[in-house]
Amino acid sequence: MKIALVHDHLCGVGGSERIFQYLCEEFPKADVYTLSYNSKNTWPYFKNRKIHTSWLNLFIRNSETFRWSFPISTYVMELLNLTSYDLVLSSSATTAKYVRAPKGGHLCYCYIPTRALWNAGEYFGKSLKGKILKLFLNYLKRRDYEAAQKIDRFIAISDFSKSYILKYYNKDADVLHCPIETEKFVPLFKKRKEHYLLISRLEKWKRVDYAIEAFNLSGKPLKVIGKGAEGNSLREMSKGNISFLGEVDDARLVEEYNECKAVIFTPFLEYGLIPLEASSCGTPVICYGHGGVNETMIPVGKSINPTAVFFYEQTPEALNRAIEEFELTSFDPKALTKHASKWNIETFKKAMRAKVNDLLSSQSKSTTSAQTSG
């Protein structure tokens, strides 16, 4: 059986690139395709795989240039003809789902319907790109919808994501939560320091801004890990109690999870690996309580062993109230780690393999039925 694996791009170190790595590990003989690949800007694993890219690889070298390549990138991906394969497994939040796949053989692991189209205002803000895109928004939405109709089966990363796939694409989806590396993100049993930790791509839609405002007001120490287009403006608005570490390697990341008092999680997301990684390290989370976190976190008041404090407004005042609540609440690190253990990689890989085999089996039955009818 010939299988092709496709991802939007491999020019960043986000959660989706990590998940795509797990898919590549599970299917080591599959061919790997993506719009663009930069070995210096993504996870080291991909250096061990042959990566097929498009001509846009000459221009897209990081997540920011990928973002600005939209929607041209969708047309380029649409030219990728993978109909000679038995099955295409796409890992997509934007462009990968546009590839030409064999009839009856396209399985899409969908993080969210294309945010740049269906939530364009938040994604682009008031930028010139957003204003230009708005002129063509209805047409591009129609193209995105039509691309989704060609996909044989969707797998959503959460119930929240599933609801959006149904809303925007009118397609049903199975749900398979993204995993974390539970054997890597472990408690180090270190003495906790007094600072908080925020880990995020520094993009407008990640809403790091109000966390900076909250810690400017409180004066509490905050470390920020990540980089992005909003990095400079966030640094400029920050007071001396806030430090920016940039991107760090996994070993340093585990250290940081284990040293902080709690992790701050600000965005409205369909899922989010960071709260689970924190839990796996025995670290509680203070998070915006809408979206996918409702499927992975247990807020204070819902269990004797909570994993998080929720707040429900994306404002500095609401976040600071949640931090005050956190400082009056006790958490059991062992219970946090046990909770996160359910999201392990092997369980995810086994479930994904079963879904691939199920689609291949359906293809075989359809072919046999057609031959019999003929």
Query: Quick one: 69 and 35 in the same domain?
Result: yes
Query: Quick one: 105 and 252 in the same domain?
Result: no
Residue 232: pLDDT over 90:
yes
Judge whether 75 and 125 are in contact, CB under 8 Å.
Answer: no
CA terminus-to-terminus distance, the chain: 24
What's the confidence (pLDDT) of residue 122? 67
What's the confidence (pLDDT) of residue 280? 99
For residue 189, tell me if it sits in a domain.
no
Among 108, 147, 78, CA closest to 4: 108
Amino acid at 69: S
For residue 225, tell me if it sits in a domain.
yes
Query: Quick one: 244 and 258 in the same domain?
Result: yes
Residue 221: pLDDT over 70:
yes
φ/ψ of residue 80, rounded to 5: -75, 110
Q: Which residue has the higher pLDDT, 120 or 158?
A: 158
Is residue 367 classed as helix, strand or coil in its secondary structure? helix
Distances (CA, A) of 65 to 61, 69, 206, 358: 6, 6, 18, 37
**Cα 150 from Cα 229, distance rounded (Å):** 34
Query: Quick one: 135 and 230 in the same domain?
Result: no
Distances (CA, A) of 81 to 53, 74, 76, 85, 97: 12, 13, 11, 9, 12
Q: What is the pTM of this model?
A: 0.90
Residue 371: pLDDT over 70:
no
For residue 188, tell me if it sits in a domain.
no
Query: Quick one: 122 and 45 in the same domain?
Result: yes
Query: Quick one: 227 and 153 in the same domain?
Result: no
Query: Quick one: 120 and 225 in the same domain?
Result: no
Query: Quick one: 174 and 308 in the same domain?
Result: no
pLDDT category at 366 given cuts 50, 70, 90 is low
Query: Quick one: 292 and 233 in the same domain?
Result: yes
What's the confidence (pLDDT) of residue 132? 78
Helices (H) and strands (E) in the chain, counts: 16, 13
- Kindly state the tokens that stand for 284: 């509680």
Is residue 182 classed as helix, strand or coil in its secondary structure? coil
CATH number at residue 150: 3.40.50
Residue 1: pLDDT over 90:
no
For residue 132, tell me if it sits in a domain.
yes
Residue 369: pLDDT over 70:
no
Residue 190: pLDDT over 90:
no
For residue 363, tell me if it sits in a domain.
yes
Q: Which residues pair with 107 in a beta bridge?
A: 89, 153
- Kindly state the tokens that stand for 231: 């990095």
CATH number at residue 327: 3.40.50.2000
- Kindly state the tokens that stand for 83: 């109909």
Q: Which residue has the higher pLDDT, 373 or 177?
A: 177
For residue 187, tell me if it sits in a domain.
no
Q: Structurally, how many domains does the chain consist of?
A: 2
For residue 191, tell me if it sits in a domain.
no
Query: Quick one: 71 and 44 in the same domain?
Result: yes
What's the confidence (pLDDT) of residue 363? 79
What's the confidence (pLDDT) of residue 23? 98
Query: Quick one: 252 and 364 in the same domain?
Result: no
**255 lies in which domain range?**
196-342
pLDDT category at 125 given cuts 50, 70, 90 is low
Q: Mean pLDDT in the chain?
A: 94
Is residue 137 classed as helix, strand or coil in its secondary structure? helix
Query: Quick one: 236 and 129 in the same domain?
Result: no
Q: Which residue has the higher pLDDT, 129 or 71?
A: 71
pLDDT category at 7 given cuts 50, 70, 90 is very high
pLDDT tens digits along 294-312: 999 999 999 999 999 999 9
pLDDT tens digits along 61-102: 988 889 889 999 999 999 999 999 999 999 999 999 999 999
